[in-house]
Amino acid sequence: MPKIIKNGEIVENTYVWQQDVEAVATENAIVPMQKWLDNQDSIGKVAGIWIDAGEGVEPLAGVDISQFDVIGVNFPTFMDGRGFSYARLLRERLNYQGEIRALGAFMADQQGYLIRCGFNSFEFAEDVNLDIALTLNKPFSVAYQGDVADPRPIFLRRG
């Protein structure tokens, strides 16, 4: 089974990221958000949903997202930074407490920023060396802005 980095550790990946809308949803599947929204009465129990770049979190207004164990955010390329905002909105506006997983073409070197925006798990492409990626799984030890871990900017934290 492929591994992921979650909460700062390399662990087994117990979910399946279903990119194909036609795939049969299973209890361990992360299914496309729109598919879940369209079929929420019939789709049954899934691990969670994933949001593609461009979809935004607005479609989740009114949905009880606490039912999802995981919400994935896809990065079509590592230059596409929309997912950074999505994770923040999930945490700060929709108050989502579960796992937020980075999916797709994001880079190991982006993990510091991703963590600060609310991601806590990282499903890398197969060719990524997870031991090296793990060394990059931390933000700088200080930050100017508030973030999901601590909403206070530096001016509320300086001695």
Q: Select 70 or 115, whichever has its Cβ closest to other proteins.
A: 115
What residue type is 31 in one-letter code? Answer: V
E strands, 33-108, where?
48-51, 70-75, 99-104
The smaller minimum CB distance to other proteins, of residues 18 and 111, is found at 111
Q: Considering beta carbons, is residue 16 or 82 the nearer one to other proteins? A: 82
Compute φ and ψ for 13, nearest 5 degrees: -90, 110
Residues engaged in binding other proteins (CB under 8 A): 56, 78-82, 84-86, 88, 93, 107, 109-110, 112-114, 116-117, 129, 132, 139-147, 151-156, 158
CB of 81 to other proteins, least distance (A): 3
Closest C-alpha among 37, 38, 113 to residue 68:
37
